[in-house]
Structure 1
Amino acid sequence: MNASNALAATASNDQIKWIRVASTFLPLANPISDAKVLTGRQKPMTEIAILFVEIETADGHRGLGFSYYSKRAGGPGQFAHAKDIAPTLIGEDPSDIARLWDKLAWAGASVGRSGMAAQAIGAFDVALWDLKAKRANLSLSKLIGAQRDSVRCYNTSGGFLHTPLDQLLVNTDASREKGIGGIKLKVGQPDCALDIHRVQTVRKHLGDSFPLMVDANQQWDRPTAQRMCRTFEQFNLVWIEEPLDCYDAEGHAALAAQFDTPIATGEMLTSVSEHWEFIRLRGADYLMPDAPRVGGITPFLKVATLAGHAGLMLAPHFAMELHVHLAACYSREPWVEHFEWLEPLFNERLETKNGRMLVPTRPGLGLSLSERVKEWTAQETEIGARA
């Protein structure tokens, strides 16, 4: 038996022996407000609930995965669902990732195969992909099939609506100094004139050509979205994000067909089928799938394949630590969202240079949990026994 066959045989005989599931609440430095807060639909975000999954096999291979939910609601429920379905993986071959995704989905299918259930599955799926890449001694992007070693990136965390305009300009300068290649501003305030003034001011500050995006976070109705998209045409935006309710595929498609400025959406969708409706109707120029929210890397790659076939551009939402790998594998030049919120969870840092985020070359995701995660962990459980 040659070396490659021996490695394959070892992998196929390996079994999952131990799983740890943990619910961690990451505090944010300042309460975060977007348009959903100003319209009274949600309270400011003060922390993020993170679901971590660690998997270990009989041969000692380990994988780390995560998913998330805002503290506003859902974190404990996501942990409870993950705890219920985790035992179904014990004794399974970790290489069979697609089959294991289906097994986890059907284990909890009575509550659905999207939404919170999919997000719980996502943490297991990411851990299995991380394990597989580490076992192959490849970064996740190289395991999947990288198209590039860096990805265009834009910053969102400095452009929230709670940020005063003068501080907003300071934040844009800081992002550019860090080598970040684009700026996204939150819009969608009850007074549209305030949105227009902020965008106009930042566009003047950045110059005509620097990449600038806006995000309404689903807060406009169709007539308002029409008016605002028409007004924003003058600002040479890369995209207008979530101008309508996240499930209004027809409304987004009408805006995409009418205006020159691209329409972006998809971050709140939690299944391949929900994304397919937007792809089929051409409800987005930029599709924005979120791997943890859609159920992990396995369904994300299905969404990306469908989007690529339709000729759509890609800009995965949040979780740059994961999405930089996935965006690096997309055939068309994508964007990755720079959010430093999750950085305290990990020991490693991503590097930005000349408007791009460098793809890590460490095996797997290239991530390890920081010591601070322990103090932020509210619930955890272990299934099986470590090797």
Structure 2
Amino acid sequence: MTAVPSVVRTDSPAVVDRIESVTLSSVVLPLANAISDAKVFTGRQRPMTEVVFLFAEIRTEAGLEGVGFGYSKRAGGPAQFAHAREVAPDLIGEDPSDIARLWTKLVWAGASVGRSGASTQAIAAIDIALWDLKAKRAGLPLAKLLGAHGDSVRCYNTSGGFLHESIEQVKDNATRTLAEGIGGIKIKVGLPDSAEDLRRVRAVREHIGDAVPLMVDANQQWDRPTAMRVSRALEEFDLTWIEEPLDAYDAEGHAQLARTLDTAVATGEMLTSVPEHYELIRQGSVDIIQPDAPRIGGITQFLKLAALAEHSNLQLAPHFAMEIHLHLAAAYPHGTWVEHFDWLHPLFHERLEIRDGRMHLSDRPGLGVTLTDQARAWTVDTVRIDAPH
């Protein structure tokens, strides 16, 4: 753990720092294999071959630095970068500790394009960088700054369960994943042939045994009758949850499923604001809520949603970006999971420690990640905004 003074002086004024520069970078991460979930098999999307990241690096007059990121799968990356570039100059000269006020300032700088979607996803990278900086200033991992409820969180793997791979390959992936210490397995469903979905789930359940947590994800590809029929058929496999059985905005349909099924219903990853998630909570649509900090506007907004979820006694399983979400899940008091993806490994020097089915916090301050030379090499656009001289 980074050393901190044993005695904190209270007889001198606090030192106010100021933001000196903001560097924004658009980084295109190529995937080793084209990825397909149910949206590809239903014809709604093409296979995914890359992920576009927006990195924000903030430096202060005192020499402190924070890094944050957001991302876009398929379209949207250039829009996030362009919006961040427009609003970031409003940060120069500001106190980086005033994160909530700065979030509001940036939202209103671009209010004509709304307070959700690409505009707030652009702000998310900046917001996350400010939280990283704040935790580094305190000499604490972000989870400890927020107030951790534990030093580790249950984790499950998704990247080995996609539909472009044969069921035999998915089973081999599961074997390797569990051997690496990851605690649960999630596989994709939602194929046009529901019988094939059931066959794949049965094969994986038989392969990993009854004791291993197993989740499925339909990626919004079922209508209400299909979701009810298939979800009932899936109950025999003792799943930890059924994810995105319906369109992400069908709060009423998800509520009907949640009332009917014994298996937990999970959703939320595709929503891009706290109010959208609140509608799920208000209607009783979820047992496990799955917000994505980069998608809903950053950590500032995530914490607002976490308070609402805690009040409703929901479990929390943030989507993707485990480098961020480990800290946020560790700061949540109820049952939590973190989603393991190995896709981002080339971007960061550090690796998260995983053992005994759990992902463990490190003692590195902030998010605890630094960008690799490879991440710099994959940069397709960058801009640095400095204080005027």
Q: Same fold (TM over 0.5)?
A: yes
- Please identify runs of 4+ aligned residues in structure 1 that moved more than 3 A: 2-8
Counterparts of 1:27-106 in structure 2 under 5 Å? 27-70=30-73, 72-106=74-108
Per-residue CA distance 1:293-347 (angstroms, 9 max, x = gap): 1100000011111000001100000000110010001001200000011111000
Using the TM superposition, give the Cα deviation of residue 361 of structure 1 relative to its aligned residue in structure 2, in angstroms. Answer: 1.6
Residue 101 (structure 1) shift: 0.5
Q: Distance in 2 between matches of 1:272 and 1:6?
A: 40
1:188 alignment counterpart = 190
Deviation at 1:5, TM superposition (A): 3.7
Say which SS state the counterpart of residue 55 (structure 1) adopts.
strand
Number of the residue aligned with 2:234: 232
In structure 2, the residue corresponding to 1:225 is in which secondary structure? helix
CA shift in 2, pair 1:100/1:7, >3 Å: farther
Quote the residue 1:199 is aligned against: 201
* RMSD value, Cα: 1.3
Q: Which residue number corresponds to residue 285 of structure 2?
A: 283
Corresponding residue number in structure 2 for 1:313: 315
Query: Counterpart in 2 of 1:356?
Result: 358
CA contact (8 A) 1:17 1:386 kept: no
Match of 2:127 in 1: 125
Structure 2 length normalisation: TM-score? 0.97
Equivalent-residue separation in structure 1 for 2:234 and 2:11 (angstroms) = 59
Query: Does structure 1 conserve the Cα–Cα contact (< 8 Å) formed by 2:92 and 2:387?
Result: no
CA separation in 2, counterparts of 1:5 and 1:54?
31
Q: CA deviation at 1:360?
A: 1.8
TM superposition shift of 1:359: 1.1
Structure 2 matches for 1:245-264, cutoff 5 A? 245-264=247-266
Q: Deviation per CA, 1:50-99: give whole Å up to 9, x if none.
A: 000000011111100000001x2100011000000000100100000000
In structure 2, how many angstroms separate the alpha carbons of the residues matched to 1:377 and 1:236?
44
Q: Secondary structure at the match of 1:22?
A: strand
1:9 aligns with 2:14: yes
DSSP-derived class of the 2:108 partner: helix
CA distance in 1, matches of 2:103, 2:224: 37
- Asked if the contact 2:70/2:124 (under 8 Å) is kept, the reply is yes
Matches of 1:65 and 1:8, distance apart in 2: 29
Contact preservation (8 Å) 1:324, 1:359 = yes
State the number of aligned residues. 383
1:327 and 1:336 in contact (8 A); partners too: yes
The equivalent position to 2:340 in structure 1, one of 338, 341, 359, is: 338
Q: Aligned partner of 1:16: which letter?
A: I
Alpha carbons of 1:8 and 1:380: their partners in 2 closer, same or farther (altered >3 Å)? farther
Contact 1:266 1:275 in 2 (8 A): yes
Deviations 1:182-217 (A, max 9, x none): 000000000111100000010011111210000000
Relative distance call for 1:89 and 1:200 in structure 2 (3 A) is same
Q: Distance in 2 between matches of 1:3 and 1:386?
A: 34
Matched to 1:75, the amino acid is G
- The reply on whether 1:219 has 2:221 as its aligned counterpart is yes
Unaligned runs of 5+ residues in structure 2 are 1-6
The SS at the match of 1:28 is: strand
Q: Percent identity?
A: 62
Measured against aligned partners, the alpha-carbon deviations of 1:116-167 in whole angstroms (never above 9, x if no partner) come to 1111010000000000000010000000000000000000000000011111
> For 2:382, what is the secondary structure of its paired residue?
strand
Contact conserved, 2:93 with 2:387, CA < 8 A, in 1? Answer: no
SS of residue in 1 equivalent to 2:14: helix
Provide structure 1 residue ranges, at least 5 long, that are not aligned to the other structure: none
